[in-house]
């Protein structure tokens, strides 16, 4: 499914359809998503049995202290990988910000509130058309920022649980049970959000695999990102790297 830089045929043979594709995510962004997906899956798989330790399915997994120790070890390793990923993500953002190259496409804007309101009117059959979106629509931005803060809460509370002795050198002891509660509960919020909201939008509403392939075809670009499409086809650019284009 790679872009093939073949010369544009002047006349296509019957039965051959040309589909233009538009770059959407850089290789780095796609790798980040893949690692994030893997980490979240492993963390949930090793965390949920610990949360629901009174259930039969959990006790089938955690049957001995040795198994619990293994589960916790895997959980900790995945947490470290996730931490590294978050640091890379933030580091890249700060580096680009310093060079004035960070795109504002993912930042929440007033337009998103208007789009959301427009979408709501569309969903209650008042407006006839969906709003036209830029590169990231308000739902995608909501997904990003929801998971951004969720991961922040999970990482902070996770490290507080992991190193209670160090944490209580500075903070009162009450933060430990609070962190345990927040970690356990926020995990459920994350799971609900990913399964209901994210899976619906990328699998059920339409199958959108652009985060794996890196590109989106013309039809999807026009349908779901009309403003971005119009901008891309109207203004020629001198090869800015994908994913950090300026608005």
Sign of the C-alpha dihedral, residues 56, 58, 59, 61?
A: positive
CB of 83 to another protein, least distance (A): 22
Identity of the residue, 83 or 184, whose beta carbon is nearer to another protein in the bound complex? 184
Judged by CB under 8 A, the chain residues 130 through 149 that form the site for another protein are 130-132
Gap between the Cα atoms of 212 and 203, Å rounded: 13
Binding mask 215-234 for another protein (x = CB under 8 A): x-xxx--xxx-xx-xxxxxx
Decide if 234 contacts 227 (C-beta within 8 A): no
Judged by CB under 8 A, the chain residues 155 through 184 that form the site for another protein are 164-165, 168-169, 171-178, 180-182
The pair of three-digit structure tokens given for residue 176, joined into one six-digit string: 């430990």
Identity of the residue, 84 or 205, whose beta carbon is nearer to another protein in the bound complex? 205
Q: Which of 92, 107, 106, 87 is nearest to 155 (CA)?
A: 87
Q: Which of 144, 143, 165, 162 is nearest to 154 (CA)?
A: 162
Query: Of 37, 107, 113, 188, which lies in the binding site for another protein, with binding defined by CB under 8 A?
Result: 188
Judged by CB under 8 A, the chain residues 72 through 131 that form the site for another protein are 122-125, 129-131
Gap between the Cα atoms of 36 and 40, Å rounded: 6
Query: Of 31, 144, 148, 200, which lies in the binding site for another protein, with binding defined by CB under 8 A?
Result: 200
Gap between the Cα atoms of 208 and 3, Å rounded: 17
Query: Of 18, 98, 126, 207, which lies in the binding site for another protein, with binding defined by CB under 8 A?
Result: 18
Identity of the residue, 81 or 130, whose beta carbon is nearer to another protein in the bound complex? 130
- Residue 212 contacts another protein per CB under 8 A: no
Query: Of 34, 41, 59, 152, which lies in the binding site for another protein, with binding defined by CB under 8 A?
Result: 59
Decide if 187 contacts 47 (C-beta within 8 A): yes
Identity of the residue, 77 or 226, whose beta carbon is nearer to another protein in the bound complex? 226
Identity of the residue, 136 or 229, whose beta carbon is nearer to another protein in the bound complex? 229
Could you give the C-alpha distances from 233 to 4, 20, 192, in angstroms and in order?
19, 11, 38
């Amino acid at each position: 499914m790679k872009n093939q830089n073949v010369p544009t045929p002047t006349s296509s043979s019957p039965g051959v359809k040309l589909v233009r594709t538009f770059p959407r995510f850089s290789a780095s962004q796609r790798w980040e998503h893949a690692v994030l997906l893997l980490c979240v899956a492993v963390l949930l798989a090793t965390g949920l049995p610990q949360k629901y330790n009174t259930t039969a399915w959990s006790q089938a997994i955690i049957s001995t202290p040795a198994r619990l120790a293994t589960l916790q070890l895997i959980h900790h390793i995945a947490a470290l990988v996730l931490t590294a990923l978050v640091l890379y993500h933030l580091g890249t953002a700060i580096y680009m910000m310093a060079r004035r190259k960070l795109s504002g496409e993912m930042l929440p804007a007033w337009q998103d509130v208007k789009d959301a309101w427009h979408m709501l009117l569309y969903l209650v059959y008042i407006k006839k058309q969906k709003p036209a979106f830029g590169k990231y629509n308000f739902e995608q931005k909501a997904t990003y920022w929801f998971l951004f803060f969720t991961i922040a809460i999970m990482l902070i509370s996770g490290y507080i649980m992991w190193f209670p002795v160090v944490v209580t050198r500075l903070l009162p002891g009450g933060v430990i049970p609070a962190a345990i509660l927040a970690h356990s509960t926020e995990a459920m919020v994350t799971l609900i959000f990913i399964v209901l909201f994210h899976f619906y939008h990328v699998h059920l509403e339409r199958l959108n695999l652009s985060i794996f392939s890196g590109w989106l075809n013309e039809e999807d670009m026009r349908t779901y990102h009309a403003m971005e499409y119009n901008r891309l086809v109207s203004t020629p650019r001198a090869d800015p790297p994908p994913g950090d284009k300026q608005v």
